[in-house]
Amino acid sequence: MTIRIAITPGEPAGIGPDLLLKLIQHDWPVQLVAIADKSLLEQRAKQLCLPLKLIEFNDSEPAKTSQAGELYFSQIDLAAPAIPGELNEANGEYVLHTLRHASEQNTNGTFAAVVTGPVHKGIINKAGISFSGHTEYFAQQTNTSDVVMMLATQGLRVALVTTHIPLAYVSKAVTEERLIKVTEILHHDLQEKFGIKNPRILMCGLNPHAGEDGHLGTEELETIIPTVQRLNETGMNITGPLPADTLFQDKYLNQTDAVLAMYHDQGLPVLKYKGFGNSVNITLGLPFIRTSVDHGTALDLAGTGKAEVGSFELAIREAIHLATKDKVIINDR
């Protein structure tokens, strides 16, 4: 049976529309449906000199595989014309409308997954809309109390205990309750979505040298170590906390399925150094599958045809594999 994948191209002035239009120049074994403004797709295709046949999406019709050069679309109107490279706060609400529509249609089963292009958080907030990221937005839309942000590339998965919060708030956010919830979600989805029977998880310490027995911080002794012990007593396989400055080496990574970092810039710089442009962002804990690119809007490349499709293509392929429970295409050793 053919499945449907929703795609939100993201910031209309960025490279998201460009990447999608490049990627639909070959056949796909699923029905790809852009949640976007038809005029945006037409104008950008013309600018990039790419052939495009737009087909209005009708969920009452049987799903069909996407053929080269054609793209199904579900219309969401822009508030203002989108000019490549030029942010316009008038379109902040448009971006959220695409995400809201994708969330609703994934929740009701119309789509098997959603793949999101890069958005510009600053311009959305400038439009007067509080927005900290896709992960948090989809959690709110689905009334999901806890979700986990994970990025993956060949040979490495990194999940986060905290996401888009100031560094000054991280210590207070790393609680026993939060650690347990995040680890349980990570463990569950590694089993259910990735087919790993007994997931092995490496947990980073919060402080330099994982606190060095309390001399460089007490969070490890007071919170993280007792929580790891408690989790392992339930049958999980958690190692840590380990110092983040030495954890990311083969002797550890070859024996793990995922690394759990305490905060955004603890784990993601390593992953992006290893696989930037060839990694994918996956939200765990949602009632549907959501993958995304590992990069931003790259406004300077929008409309030039020079943007690389690697991460967007991986995000689509990973969504397909997760939705069909087929072999996961990244992190295979």
Binding site residue list:
134-135, 164, 209, 264, 272, 281, 290
Contact of 90 with 127, CB cutoff 8 Å = yes
> Is there a contact between 41 and 142 (Cβ–Cβ < 8 Å)?
no
Tell me the binding residues for substrate: 134-135, 272, 281, 290
- The partner residues of 83 in beta bridges, in order of sequence, read 86
Q: Which residue from 76, 65, 68 is spatially nearest to 99, judged by alpha carbons?
A: 76
Among 305, 313, 306, which Cα is nearest to 28's?
313
Across 305-320, b (16+ Cβ under 10 Å) vs e yields eebebbbbbbbbbbbb
Annotated binding site for a divalent metal cation: 164, 209, 264
Query: Which residue is associated with the tokens 């190692």?
Result: 239
Which residues, at least 6 apart from 264, have a Cβ–Cβ distance to it below 8 Å? 160, 162, 163, 164
**What are the backbone dihedrals phi and psi of residue 23, each rounded to the nearest 5 degrees, phi first?**
-75, -25
Report which residue type is found at 245.
D
Cα angle 215, 267, 11 (rounded to 5 degrees) comes to 140
The answer to whether the CB of 123 falls within 8 A of the CB of 83 is no
Of 91, 86, 112, nearest in space to 33 by CA: 112
- What DSSP designation does 306 have? -
Q: Give the position of tokens 């992006």.
A: 272
What are the respective helix, strand and coil percentages of the chain, to the nearest 5?
40, 20, 40
Bond prior to 12 in cis (omega within 30° of 0): no
